Amino acid sequence: MLDLSTSYLGLKLKNPLVPSSSPLSKHLDTALRLEDAGAAALVMHSLFEEQLHAEAKMADRFLLNSGIGHGEAEGFLPDHGGDKSMLDHYLEHLAKLKSRLSIPVIASLNGVSLSGWVDLGRELQQAGADALELNVYHVAADANFSGESVEARYVSLLSELHGGVNLPIAMKLSPFFSSLPHLIKQLERAGARGVSLFNRFYQPDIDLDSLRMVDCLHLSTPDEALLRIRWIAILHGRTRLTLAASGGVHSHEEAMKLLLAGADVVHLASCLLLHGPGRLGQILADMEKWMSEREYTSVAQLKGSMSQKNLPDPDAVERASYIRVLDSYGPARGVRS
Amino acid sequence: MTSSQTPTIDGNEAAARIAYLCNEVIAIYPITPASSMGEWADEWASRGQPNLWGATPKIIEMQSEAGAAGALHGALSAGALATSFTSSQGLLLMIPNLYKIAGELTPFVLHVASRTVATHALSIFGDHSDVMACRGTGFSLLAAGSVQEAHDFALIAQAASLAGRIPMLHFFDGFRTSHEVAKIVEVERDTVRVMINDEHVAAHRARALSPEHPVLRGTSQNPDVFFQSRERANPYYDAFPGLVQEAFDHFAGLTGRQYKLFDYVGAHDAERVIVLMGSGAETVHETVNHLTARNEKVGVLKVRLYRPFDPAALIAAIPEFTRAIAVLDRCKEPGADGEPLYKDVLGAFANAAADGLRAMPRILGGRYGLASKEFTPGMVKAVFDELAQALPKRQFTLGIHDDLTHLSLPWDESFRTDAARALRHAVFWGLGADGTVSANKNSIKIIGEDTPLNAQGYFVYDSKKSGAVTVSHLRFGEAPIRSAYLVGDNDAGFVACHQTVFTERYDVLKQARPGGVFLLNTAATPETALDSLPENLRREIVDKELAFWVIDAYRVAADAEMGRRINTIMQTCFFAISGILPREQAITAIKKAVEKTYGTKSKRLVELNHRAIDMTLAHLHQVDVAQASSPALGVECRRDACATNDAGQPSQPPAFIRDVTLPLYAGLGDRLPVSAMPADGTWPVGTAKYEKRGIALEIPVWDAALCTQCGKCVFVCPHSAIRARVFPADAAADAPLTFKHVPAKSKDYPVGTQISYQVAPEDCTGCGDCVEACPIHDKSNVSHKALNMAELVANNSPNNSPLRAQERENFSFFLNLPEFDRDAVKHTTIPGSMLLDPLFEFSGACAGCGETPYIRLATQLFGDRMLIANATGCSSIYGGNLPTTPYTTHADGRGPAWSNSLFEDNAEFGLGMRLAADQLMGHAQTLVQELAGDIGGDLAEALVNAEQREETGIRAQRQRVATLLERLEGSTQPRARELATLAEWLIRRSVWIIGGDGWAYDIGYGGLDHVLTLPWDVNILVLDTEVYSNTGGQTSKATPIGAVAKFSAGGKATAKKDLVKLAADYGHVYVASVAYGAKDTQTLRAFIEAESYLGPSLIVAYSPCIAHGYDLQYNGRQQEAAVKSGHWPLIRFDPRLEASAGNPWKLDSAAPTQPIREFMESETRFAMLSRSHPEAAEHFMAEAQSIADRRYQSYLALARQGEPKTGS
């Protein structure tokens, strides 16, 4: 009998497959189907700070203060007071997921500012979240802002949140840090229980007809798993934080590679959006098959077995590997170059 | 007493609270100033708030007041307790059913915020003309005079009506009471429960039509029994005053507030008494208290129950010593020798005198307060003085200066009562959208609900929608406040001006009391603030020794990340320096109020508001007036400037405009005498251009080098504030240095022709639509376009801006450029048509309005021959609300002639214009033929058979008519003279019927539909905002599925009515569905085709509106999204094509390429449903998608009819 169990953020999970923050959690039915397919936990769709702010602005301008000073109309849309905010809906949905799912539910906060997180975190805790994922969407575009201060921002956010809630917190990071292990060490000190590598930003695109910037988010491709494999391999065994690999997992192959590199859990989103929740069961079955064929008995056994620490040639995941990969793009031997 | 027992609310809410509790079915239709009663009921119902019996009343919005009355009649007949709220024309539309409801002895209360009935003009303000029109219906009429009474009487009416089976019309003065915010003692729910007698309710239910015990009601009766049947109801009416008094007494026992059928206040031995009803009685009451304290033998009789009229009770209530009575009516009955109340009082005394019961006093009749005209203690005093005269005026008017028929009484404007002197008054000048009114309502609540003080607030609004001015009048005091009039000159201990620009337009300090406080929001420093003011205000500050405080509230707001919201900041200042409440207590209360308002919506907004409040005091500074520099030469108040106009507009406006229009604009209309008024409501056009409101903070600046001269900016401008003109190069020889012009790119004009795109800086609202619409980007910097917004206001003071001065001069020069030949430009292209002069300009419509570009376009194309019938609504308000009108003329004096009849009859009104034009043309043609010998056969022939579909034909006909008139001149033939008067009708008129969706889809649909079935040549333009815009966003049948609007809080459950399809189904109607922001060329084509079509034409025009809930700067993008998502397909149906092409249908928009969800999520009207009812929102979005798909497919199928089948 294979033991697929793992642990992430202190949560005991029956296997390492965890749907990541995506619209999949928005519908209870889909969430239940994910659980049925074998998901070990669920990261909820993100509560976006910008959306909360935009909602507040919208309410302020068009509901609470829409009067224009005309005697016939004091406002133009009904404000029936009882309208719930996006946060209320999120909390309600979290509570609903918790009441119907038996797997852990991880709430996700996505934002950039330095204030307001603790209150939100407390409310999510109260609504039953098992853990929090903090996704700081910060593009360091200010030339007066050093790399150090960017990192300090992350650390201070985390430590503020950590001080306010009892839940384990994972920090979802972008790959754009000059020294990821150093940052992760700081996060560990500030109270994080895990990191999720890496988030995939919305990227601005240019509409050639209107010459306007438009937001764009494409689904991931398996190639993207490579970046995660490298960093998970480097980090495994060098931090006490649990590691989640996020981005590019479309089949058991990427999942196995990430586990071998040292991931504690593997997040899935694009493949589930493309093929439906049942895909998770398929990947799980394929993983089991792969492990059985190779006579692995547990995930614990293989986890990190190919991390940088455990490799015969540790440089392979750093620069040497880079050169090799480049070589692999050289022409075949028989081709005249 | 806690605030829940003494809420501070307005009259509408006060009445609605009771009406909601006591009823089960509420059928309404919005009308100012009653709309908010229905809206409150809707809001409470949508929250599931129960009525007395634990059920949630059913609220239904109908298609008109006539519909609401019908629904009520049905609900009442079937056993429910039902109510409604209405006013003015709405009440008039209910009259047929009021007769029925009363005739069937049905207990029912109709709550009316009484409002002027439109006569020579519409007015949304208050008087009793609507209620008086209902005297014959059989309804009982009960008048409330204050917010407290509106609350109490709502209940008393309900109880009495149930007891006596006579329906009651409970009324209070529109705006003065309906919109006055006051602290009242709320009737507790248990009291309401006790007042509503279960047995009476059960008896009402027992009378219900029921198949369990059927009866017949609503018979048709013959001469044999009808009369007797009418008399059969007499006992109910005889008993009713007694039952009302019983209800008053019962109520008094429960609440301690005693009312009588006629309440007398004053000296027990009064010799002079005023009789009146409504809010004016409160003002008289206050004045009587003042006078009796000085031993004057005066009194006031407040009429509560006007119908059934109880003369004995009236006479018993008036002291026997009374020798002279003035009866004041708030209405006018032209041609009568007195108004209704006067005649009733006169009759009562005449009978009493005849019976020897009472000596006959002298009884005078006076009219006052029409359309909310001010009624002050000074006027009351004038009436008492008149009553003391040996030969007083038998009939008089109050509050106006009648230099024509000399009926008015003069009054002392400086007269003040003791009560008024004991009150604290405050006046606030705000911009419509800056939150001043809401902040003041909030302050009144704080004072009313957190202190033992009484509080009153009244708000004077603007008739403009962009850059509107609001003036808030607040009073606070220990005694009950009866002052149903505005804060007078020199009364306000506190005056705040929340917008610097007003200091240049208004005498904002006229109400300031000597020694009072003046607070100004200004970017000027405490050191420069005094010098930044116009001379008149500086003088007032010094002369009145005002304490002058300043704050840069916009800076504080920006620093606190509050954007441009200054309401809580200014509110904090008010409490900090007015001393009405201890500062700390006030600040805590403001913060609490913020939490209450924003708590559920956003903690962040609470946080930001708190931050702004905390930052305020550090930025609030007192100006050391004594130390300030000696007054520099400042800017004089623009009230004078606008009259003499320094900027190239006609410096000598016509006398009427100078003497009437401009004083109105300057706020001096109350002073104009009767003789200055047109007798028949006819006013000159072309007057908006004199206003020069200067409300834009930024205006577009043209980059002539980059511009491709496409004309789109002119097309989208809602205020006709950006213009294009072509002219010969030498015309610009004397142009101001900064005037921009370049060679015209079009080959349609002679070489060397110049073109200019010019902005009217003082008429632009700064909406930015033109910049958004501009398709031309700098190749190296996309953010730079051929039009770019530039800051107009420097230092928060418009006159300081060089750009403003420069563009004012340039616009003036532009207007004086020679007019180009209209034949020389292509009307069918956007660049060409946009060179045509607009005859609709500078309206008061909202910044970014999506309606006005359509109207402007029509006037550019056909203005010189347009007759416009305009339904009541936004377009009639920005089109015809005094003091000015945006409709104007060409230099030759020709332009659209405009009129508004009603909300419900606009199609018929326009049809009448068509019939008249055709009939008179026919008559004139007959005369031409008859007189052909005199005027010349060729000319006669040409005049009669002239081809006038196109503009050139019309111009040729005008020439012929001119020739005809010349030839007729001198003719002594009577028929020749007749033809001379009719000759102008030989020129074809283009009849336009314009209105919104409320009119076209709902209240006026019957008429619209009928006109569409007829063959007459009318052009109907429906400005479809998909909601009632003017009255504040109520649902119409044009409201799309899933949109949230008032009365559709859970999202409109059904699809928008397909007016386009309905009209096209007739087959002979030209129909177009257009959205200029999505495809301007299609819009242009549709207008030209519609006008040239000889039968009825209908253009349904997508009109973005503030009620859609997004920044209207992006209205073009949203129109595009509406079309791309299939929400608004573009079609044209031209019956003429039936003969030529075989298929009149043309689908002008491509298959939807964008999910409708994306469109819906981008507008608050849809998006807010995802917050309040997420599952419903999902359902509606899916449904909307399938509706859009189905509609597109059906249009596509229609457009492909007759096409050869492919693939076979």
- Quote the CA–CA distance of B465 and B468 in Å, as a whole number: 6
Which residue in chain B has the smallest CA separation from A57? B605
- Quote the CA–CA distance of A52 and B604 in Å, as a whole number: 9
- Quote the CA–CA distance of B25 and B42 in Å, as a whole number: 11
Give residue B37's identity as a one-letter amino acid code.
M
- Helix, strand, or coil here: B32? coil
Looking at residue B769, the DSSP 8-state letter turns out to be H
Pick among B501, B598, B604 to test the A interface (most A CBs inside 10 A): B604
Two tokens at B440? 């003041």
- Quote the CA–CA distance of B292 and A145 in Å, as a whole number: 77
Q: What is the 3-state secondary structure (H, E, C) of B119-135?
A: CCCCCCCCCCHHHHCCH
B47 catalytic per annotation: no
For B161-191, write each residue's pLDDT tens digit: 999 999 999 999 999 999 999 999 999 999 9
The residue assigned the tokens 């920044």 is: B1111
Q: Give B1105's contacts in chain A (Cβ within 8 Å).
A: 76
Q: Is the peptide bond before B886 cis (omega within 30 degrees of 0)?
A: no
B708 catalytic per annotation: no
| Distant-in-sequence, close-in-space partners of B1098: CB < 8 Å, separation ≥ 6 | B1012, B1020, B1022, B1059, B1060, B1063, B1069, B1070, B1071, B1072, B1090
pLDDT value for A282:
97
| Distant-in-sequence, close-in-space partners of B1107: CB < 8 Å, separation ≥ 6 | A76, A77, B1025, B1027, B1029, B1032, B1033, B1045, B1165
Cβ–Cβ gap B1171/A72 under 8 Å: no
Two tokens at B1050? 């859970």
- Quote the CA–CA distance of B35 and B890 in Å, as a whole number: 40
Partner-chain residue, chosen from A77, A115, A116, that has the shortest CB–CB distance to B1044: A77
Cβ–Cβ gap A78/B46 under 8 Å: yes
pLDDT value for B1206:
54
Cβ–Cβ gap B43/A81 under 8 Å: yes
Q: How far apart are the first and last CA of chain B?
A: 85
B115 catalytic per annotation: yes
Phi, psi at residue B752, to the nearest 5°? 95, -10
Alpha-carbon Rg for chain B, nearest whole angstrom, is 32
Cβ–Cβ gap B1171/A81 under 8 Å: no
Q: State the 10-residue block means of pLDDT for chain B, 1208 residues long.
A: 75 98 98 97 94 98 98 98 98 98 98 98 97 98 98 98 98 98 96 98 98 97 97 98 98 98 98 98 98 98 98 97 97 97 98 96 98 98 98 97 97 97 96 90 90 94 88 96 97 96 91 97 94 94 96 94 89 92 90 84 82 94 79 43 42 88 91 96 96 90 97 98 96 95 94 96 95 94 94 59 90 92 93 97 96 98 98 96 95 96 97 98 97 93 94 96 94 90 97 98 98 98 97 97 95 97 97 98 98 97 96 95 97 93 92 95 93 91 96 95 63
C-alpha B260, offset from chain centre: 36
Two tokens at A63? 């509901």
Phi, psi at residue A29, to the nearest 5°? -60, -45
Active-site option among B115, B307, B475, B804? B115
Q: What is the predicted ipTM?
A: 0.89
**Integer CA distances (angstroms), B293 to A135, B383, B417, B418, in order:** 74, 18, 10, 9
C-alpha B550, offset from chain centre: 33
- Quote the CA–CA distance of B300 and B278 in Å, as a whole number: 12
Which residue in chain A has the smallest CA separation from B1169? A83
pLDDT value for B33:
97
Looking at residue A298, the DSSP 8-state letter turns out to be B
Burial B1115-1152 (b: 16+ CB within 10 A, else e): bbbbbbbbbbbbbbbbbbbbbeeeeeeebbbbbbbeeb
- Quote the CA–CA distance of B935 and A294 in Å, as a whole number: 113
Nearest CA-CA partner of A93 in A28, A159, A147: A28
Please give the torsion angle defined by the CA atoms of residues B509, B512, B514 and B515, in that order, rounded to the nearest 10 degrees: -100
For CA atoms B367, B371, B372, B376, the dihedral sign is: negative
Phi, psi at residue B400, to the nearest 5°? -130, 170
Cβ–Cβ gap B601/A59 under 8 Å: yes
Nearest CA-CA partner of B435 in B561, B549, B556, B564: B564
Distance from the Cα of A273 to chain B's closest Cα (Å) equals: 18
B11 CB-contact burial (10 Å; exposed 0-12 / middle 13-18 / buried 19+): buried
pLDDT value for B19:
98
- β-sheet bridge partners, residue A212: A207
| Distant-in-sequence, close-in-space partners of B901: CB < 8 Å, separation ≥ 6 | B869, B909
Which residue in chain A has the smallest CA separation from B778? A211
Asked if B51 contacts B22 with a C-beta cutoff of 8 angstroms, the reply is yes
- Quote the CA–CA distance of A208 and A211 in Å, as a whole number: 5
B65 catalytic per annotation: yes
- Quote the CA–CA distance of B753 and A60 in Å, as a whole number: 50
Residues in chain A: 337
pLDDT value for B800:
58
A326: number of Cβ within 10 Å: 9
- β-sheet bridge partners, residue A17: A266
Cβ–Cβ gap A82/B1172 under 8 Å: yes
Give residue B1085's identity as a one-letter amino acid code.
R
Q: Give A77's contacts in chain B (Cβ within 8 Å).
A: 1033, 1044-1046, 1107, 1109, 1164-1165, 1168
Q: Please calculate the CA angle B8-B11-B12 and round it to the nearest 5 degrees.
A: 115
- Quote the CA–CA distance of B1027 and B1105 in Å, as a whole number: 9
- Quote the CA–CA distance of B725 and B818 in Å, as a whole number: 9
- Quote the CA–CA distance of B413 and B859 in Å, as a whole number: 45
- Quote the CA–CA distance of A213 and A234 in Å, as a whole number: 36
Return the biggest CA–CA distance within chain A. Answer: 86
Asked if A94 contacts A105 with a C-beta cutoff of 8 angstroms, the reply is yes
Pair type for strands B722-727 and B698-702: unpaired
- Quote the CA–CA distance of B1100 and B630 in Å, as a whole number: 60
Q: Give A26's contacts in chain B (Cβ within 8 Å).
A: none
Looking at residue B1028, the DSSP 8-state letter turns out to be B
For B418-474, write each residue's pLDDT tens digit: 999 999 999 999 998 888 999 999 999 999 888 899 999 999 998 888 888 999 999
- Quote the CA–CA distance of A64 and A70 in Å, as a whole number: 15
- Quote the CA–CA distance of B1087 and B1079 in Å, as a whole number: 13
Asked if B399 contacts B392 with a C-beta cutoff of 8 angstroms, the reply is no
Q: Give A56's contacts in chain B (Cβ within 8 Å).
A: 598, 601-602, 604-605
Nearest CA-CA partner of B1111 in B429, B431, B433, B469: B433
DSSP tally for chain A: helices H, then strands E: 12, 12
Asked if A196 contacts A244 with a C-beta cutoff of 8 angstroms, the reply is yes
- Quote the CA–CA distance of A65 and B163 in Å, as a whole number: 43
Q: Give B1171's contacts in chain A (Cβ within 8 Å).
A: 55, 83-86, 89
Partner-chain residue, chosen from B46, B432, B600, that has the shortest CB–CB distance to A69: B432
- β-sheet bridge partners, residue B1019: B992, B1097
Cβ–Cβ gap A85/B1171 under 8 Å: yes
Give residue A11's identity as a one-letter amino acid code.
L
Residue numbers in chain A where pLDDT is lower than 50: 337
Chain A residues near any Cβ of chain B (below 8 Å): 52-53, 55-56, 58-60, 62-86, 88-89, 115-116, 119, 211
The pTM of this model reads: 0.93
Cβ–Cβ gap A60/B602 under 8 Å: yes
Two tokens at A309? 């620490």
Partner-chain residue, chosen from A62, A68, A70, that has the shortest CB–CB distance to B1109: A62
Nearest CA-CA partner of B433 in B560, B613, B566: B566
The residue assigned the tokens 């009307």 is: B827
